[in-house]
Structure 1
Amino acid sequence: MSATTLRVPAQARPTHVTSRSGSPGRVTVAVHAADPVLRVGVVQQLRSRPEVDLLGEADAEQAQASLVVVDGVDDDVAALLHRLRHNTTTRTGLVVGTLGPGALQRVIECGVVAVLRRTEADQDRLLHLVLAIANGEGVLPGDLLGKLLTHVGGLQRSALDPRSLSTLTTREADMLRLVSEGLDTAEIARKTAYSERTVKNVLHEINTRLQLRNRAHAVGYALRNGLI
């Protein structure tokens, strides 16, 4: 599936690669991955490209582009993405196996500007991703861009709706739906790939924002108002 380029205003570790001293004209890149197999795969694809200067761990914070290579997005990955977001030197791209429900919104909130599925991550697409990031552009697979535009449109409609405080995010609705099916915190965490702490925090936020008493009250409220 083709990617769309758009211009947009456990701890994983950077790969150990010898820096080529930041040669002029090359994009400096740091590759982050907890799984050494994933890390080596991306490094080998980019190492031979003259447009790219791969940085080692000691210099990773100076990279123009940071590539985070993962199977999926969990709390450890989100923590790394948040850390990279606060580094004003680098912009972050994600090479990911699967994106579960609500994960696209989550990674964008974490500062990711470009996404590439691992199944599509050949040398040319990886290079396109890196160059787009360095040029201040964003890259998303076409289907994910459609989902993002739908989500943004929903947020805009909610902002104009006087009942907007009664809406739920995709993640909140997914978790409440699982509560309605009788799942407990641990089971919801396994289903959604979030930590139990995150599940508790999300459900607590729903109750607080909508002034509900407990999970059962929240489920009843959501069902009555067509939110799940």
Structure 2
Amino acid sequence: MNGASPTRVLVADDQTVVREGIVMLLGLLPGIEVVGAAADGEEAVALVERHRPDVVLMDLRMPRCDGVEATRRIRAAHPETEVVVLTTYADDDSLFPALQAGARGYLTKDAGGEEIARAVADVRSGAAGLSPQVQLRLLERLADGAAQATEPGAAPGGTGRPGATGPGAGRPGELPDGLTAREAEVLALIAEGLSNTEIARRLFVSPATVKTHINNLFAKTAVRDRAQAVAYAFRHGITGTQQ
């Protein structure tokens, strides 16, 4: 890693064979140092306090304290430690709770070494580390949420289009948290998985303009990264999948 300090990683998984397998795999990857391994969420929280890792690879289904609660506690006490959630299935019901608890990445357990290394590097650099399967699941949930918002009896304003409002957004046509129509449009395109360059092409604006919109909408919605932005878009029904 060109002389850079290795990324310190903690692994948390209650299945011994899985935990030891991940530790062994990480040990083969350049630029990564495994500083501990936990068998449940409680131990993960304690080991983060002791070792202060850069990244935690966190299983969701664990005894005593599950991955979502452990993630919430770790992020509250040690915001400098990022969490990448590991789960068996991309459609795990804990997907959105984990993101809302502060996880910055989300991988299925069949991810290879290269994919894990990329997710670890992404979250440490401030980006979101989401596997292709998980990105697809997020988009499916966004589409489902938009469809439900348009059903008879749904909350007013949940149209499923950029600029739509969702739960608690106020009057029909009023965007949450003071978002402008353009910011909501950019948010919807983020939720579709588009990069800044792709959003710029779609909207016929410069990448610098897109970055400005993203900085503004992140500040208004109090999200820290694209993963949280996707979760926010889902909660508020802001998606372009139904245009």
TM, length-normalised to structure 2: 0.49
Verify the 8 A CA contact 2:14 2:63 in the aligned structure 1.
no
Displacement after TM superposition at 1:161 (Å): 5.3
Displacement after TM superposition at 1:97 (Å): 0.5
Query: Secondary structure of 2:17's match?
Result: helix
Q: In 1, distance between residues paired with 2:47 and 2:5? A: 18
Instruction: Report what 1:142 is aligned to.
Output: 135
1:68 aligns with 2:58: yes
Cα 1:101–1:122 change in 2 (3 A) is closer
Displacement after TM superposition at 1:158 (Å): 3.2
Cα 1:56–1:145 change in 2 (3 A) is same
Q: In 1, distance between residues paired with 2:119 and 2:72? A: 20
Instruction: Report what 1:56 is aligned to.
Output: 36
Instruction: Report what 1:123 is aligned to.
Output: 113
Displacement after TM superposition at 1:31 (Å): 0.8
User: Pairwise CA RMSD of aligned residues?
Assistant: 3.2
**Larger deviation: 74-83 or 89-98?**
74-83
1:109 aligns with 2:118: no
**Larger deviation: 94-103 or 78-87?**
94-103
Query: Secondary structure of 1:56's match?
Result: strand
List gaps (5 residues or longer) in structure 1: 1-22, 164-228
Report 1:193-212 matches (<5 A): none
Displacement after TM superposition at 1:134 (Å): 0.7
Query: Secondary structure of 2:25's match?
Result: helix
Verify the 8 A CA contact 2:55 2:84 in the aligned structure 1.
yes
Q: In 2, distance between residues paired with 1:41 and 1:89? A: 26
Q: Which has the higher contact order (CA 8 A, sep 6+)?
A: 1
Q: Aligned letter for 1:77?
A: G
Q: In 1, distance between residues paired with 2:12 and 2:65? A: 15
Larger C-alpha radius of gyration, 1 or 2? Answer: 1
Query: Secondary structure of 1:137's match?
Result: coil
Query: Secondary structure of 2:66's match?
Result: helix
Displacement after TM superposition at 1:90 (Å): 0.3
Verify the 8 A CA contact 1:71 1:97 in the aligned structure 2.
no
Aligned residues: 140
Cα 1:52–1:25 change in 2 (3 A) is same
1:158 aligns with 2:167: yes
Q: Aligned letter for 1:28?
A: R
TM, length-normalised to structure 1: 0.52
